[in-house]
Structure 1
């Protein structure tokens, strides 16, 4: 009995000591231990993967058409490039005085500078815009564009760069032919890509990053509209987080803020879904 009494006293002392030890007020994961509740299913991630797989299969069935992405760039209805003939003239009267020492070194004289200088330049200036339309600053726009392209490429899409296609075609044209950028651009697209993907932005204060996206996918050879959609880039609501220990018991883990890359992913996923629906 004395032995049991000693062990019981030691056990009670250990429990009391554990209760007196201060707990960390910040949320902590219990590393290496099973969770209090099972990890919630991440349905959105599974859906995204399934959509990408469906697009990959439909894209291959459609013959893996090459795509050129026009990000914030209109393919305008102008059929020729308009130019103005311009001339620039510069005229300067008088000039700075020039100090000059006489031959004997005793006299300092000042002579007036040139009476006038005239410069005349003439040439041509393009008067129509190039289709570019910028809504977001580059440090915000670039991650969106990169995520959009990466999502399509990750699902197997072949992307063609507009600038390279345009310059490659222009290299074989005369100087006069290169002046008509509309004709040059269309011929470059016809030779390098089967599909044109236009992604345009317009201001929308209610969207996560202040813009609304409009996407249209067109067949270059025929002008056929394959897909058309509008998206605010807002990511699906995340599944409930797992329980973590906090200062007042166990609480749900806070959902992270949406990133720029996620907005680009959302627009790309919507584009792939629309194309999959068309091809199926």
Structure 2
């Protein structure tokens, strides 16, 4: 019993000294394999989303809650149509339109384009903005013209586009993609907002979204032939949806200054 008490006393005295020795010798545990943690969502650097959307909501209210038609990766066609009659059958003339200037523009692909559009539209819609889809209203105008004339016709492309804007929107928002190699996503954006009734330019800017705030994934330990090695994964790139959201916030900020 006396021996056990003496041993306990000796261990109690020597334990701190042993710990100091181990720390001084640099003894470390063998690193264990760790799973990478999912990136934490952070607000865009230099962009206060809450402040921007709040200011825009007030500005949109002051402007009378106008309807905005969005032109995805295209510009409003300012060229006059050139028409060529190709055939006449039963007094009905078939018309083919030769565009004076065709718009061949690169984009994000169908899936990426949808995600970009959704990301761009989301904050506008959540703030009560009346967004108008250009192809949809053009089909409405074309259908109305067919019903009024009593027959299906190939309508003047530019006239239908203009009638669709005048009848359904107060402003039109053009977003054009331009290839740019030094961009994180391979594109920059030419953005403009114009008033339908007067053609007045309300906002116009060039954007090359960058995401320095996107966190790099944490390093992981992997077992290799040379033992444990720390691996640093590449920083995650922005998704089309994140790019669309960033561009929407920039557009909101530009509109808030003039409305």
Partner residue of 1:108?
none
Q: Partner residue of 1:217?
A: 193
Cα 1:220–1:81 shift into 2, 3 Å: farther
Counterparts of residues 49-198 of structure 1 (less than 5 Å): 49-80=50-81, 82-85=83-86, 123-128=94-99, 133-136=104-107, 137-173=109-145, 174=149, 175=151, 179-198=155-174
Tell me by how many angstroms 1:186 deviates: 1.4
Kept after mapping to 1: 8 A contact 2:57/2:127:
yes
**Cα-to-partner distance string for 1:242-261 (whole Å, 9 max, x where unaligned):** 9989899xxx9975322222
> What is the alpha-carbon distance in structure 1 between the residues aligned to residue 203 and residue 119 of structure 2?
20
Unmatched segments (≥5 aa) in structure 1: 30-38, 88-121
Alpha-carbon distance between aligned partners in 2 of 1:61 and 1:212, rounded to the nearest angstrom: 31
Q: 1:130-161 CA distances to partner (integer Å, 9 max, x unpaired)?
A: 96543023343332222112232233321111
CA contact (8 A) 2:191 2:204 kept: yes
Question: Could you say if the C-alpha distance between residues 146 and 28 of structure 1 is closer, same or farther in structure 2, counting changes exceeding 3 Å?
Answer: closer
What is the distance in 1 between the residues matched to 2:44 and 2:188? 25
* Inter-partner Cα distance in structure 1 for 2:214 and 2:186: 24
C-alpha contact 2:183 2:208 (8 A) present in aligned 1: yes
SS in 1 for 2:45: helix
SS of equivalent residue, structure 1 residue 270: helix
Stretches of 4+ aligned residues off by more than 4 angstroms: 6-16, 25-29, 129-132, 175-178, 239-248, 252-255
Q: What is the root-mean-square deviation of aligned Cα atoms in Å?
A: 4.0
Partner of 2:32: 24
Partner SS for 1:134: coil
- Structure 2 unaligned blocks of 5 or more: 223-227
Note closer, same or farther for the CA distance 1:46–1:85 as it changes in structure 2 (3 Å cut).
Answer: closer
Residues in 2 aligned to 1:42 and 1:165: alpha-carbon distance in whole angstroms = 35
Greater CA radius of gyration, 1 or 2? 1
Measure, in 1, the Cα distance between the counterparts of 2:218 and 2:155.
64
Rate the CA distance shift 1:10–1:229 in 2: closer, same or farther, 3 A: same
For 2:171 and 2:197, the matched residues in 1 are separated by 8
Aligned length: 231
| Contact in 1 for aligned 2:82/2:100 (Cα 8 Å) | no
